[in-house]
Structure 1
Amino acid sequence: MNRKWTKNEIEYLENEWGSQSVPAIAKALDRTEIAVTNKAWKLGLGRFTMSGDYITLYELFAALGYKAYTGTFKYFTNNGLPYRVQKVHNSKRVRVININSFWKWAEENKEIIDFSNTKENFLGKEPKWVAEKRKLDFINPNKKSIRKWTKEDDEKLIFMCNSGKYSCHEIAETLNRSRQAISSRASKLNVCIKKTKSCKRISKETKEEIERLIKQGADTVTISKMLNVSQKTILRQKKKMYNISQSVNNRNINI
């Protein structure tokens, strides 16, 4: 005979659904896993991994707009994504992540994440810095994929190079590609780009703006487009920032 669910048992199930595994909940309530999942379904608690503070990595990547799971998983986990493997029921295991832990990790790894395909509050209430990062990611929409050069692209590039009127930056702006991509393609097509002075010094204000954008997680292509400076200049500034922070950390350790 089926045992009726008490008010306390229902409250426990609602509170723990999505936080503890189904086997753990079943053991705590002295019920079968099937009984627990059936009751959760009747209560409208939804899928196990969409409840509480956890979601699966697959669902996270889908929400971020990444289509390829395997490559994204390796890329993110190699950079320390704090996930864990959780048993759901019937020995099924899934990779899940705590949403708060994700946001903490994301803030420390802004540069490797693209928010341009996400809507506001796509994982519930989001940190304030995400809105600014989303705007930055819209500036460089092609950073997640490598676009093939079309015949029309090549014709535009050849025309702009042969005219002698356009700098590498101007061509990159027109074709919506990085300066490095333009230089590489021009070399393959055996055409020359108008030379500009590369030794131009940048102002203190520009350096400070580069550092601000780097801290916000903007990539080099985005910063280059926004400030009209070369990617090499940005990388030099980034390296300088890194070396300074390293020396500061070393001094703190010695103290």
Structure 2
Amino acid sequence: MIYKRWTKEETNYLIFNYSRKSIIAIGANLNRTKDSVFKKAKRLGLTTEMKHWIENEINFLVDKWGKKPADDIAKELNRSILSIKKKAIELKLGPERIANGEFLTTGDIGYLLNKNPGLIYRWIKDGIIKGKCFGKKKTLQTKPDHLIIFLKDYPEKWCANKARIDLIKPYFYYKNRADLPDWFTNKVRKDVYYKNSPTGIL
């Protein structure tokens, strides 16, 4: 029997739905056997009794996701990394690498801005977003500060209504910034007003 490797998307689906759907239903949706789903769930620790989240824990996770590594959040909440990841997926807080990485990939920025990573790649290559190549695969990455500079210098290239603003905001606190800058809040307010305007004109 050929082993079918679990993809990241399948694993996230299992983590999110294990306590919501039956193993049979999950298996049907993933085109996997009941045995395959159960074994994967057991390896992930999903078959053990889960500790319910309280409101203070959820608020802490939402506040710290993007500011602190997931490992540190898990320690402070006295929870496993799996528990933190599962809740982050449920709350749609974004990929873990965004929260933990000092550098952002084209995929990360594409996710934050709701743009095609290929477009982000071209922007970095053209110098619109400052970045550089890392590793043997020459992966283009940029620092959060450079993303913020891009947001400020090229407001016409991103839309607050489409971007994941709640995931972008933590980067303004990356170096202990006290408040969101006026140019950012004004841009968000302008885009929201434009979207809600009957004529689409400010």
TM above 0.5: no
Whose Rg is larger? 1
Normalization by structure 2: what TM-score? Answer: 0.35
TM value normalised by structure 1:
0.30
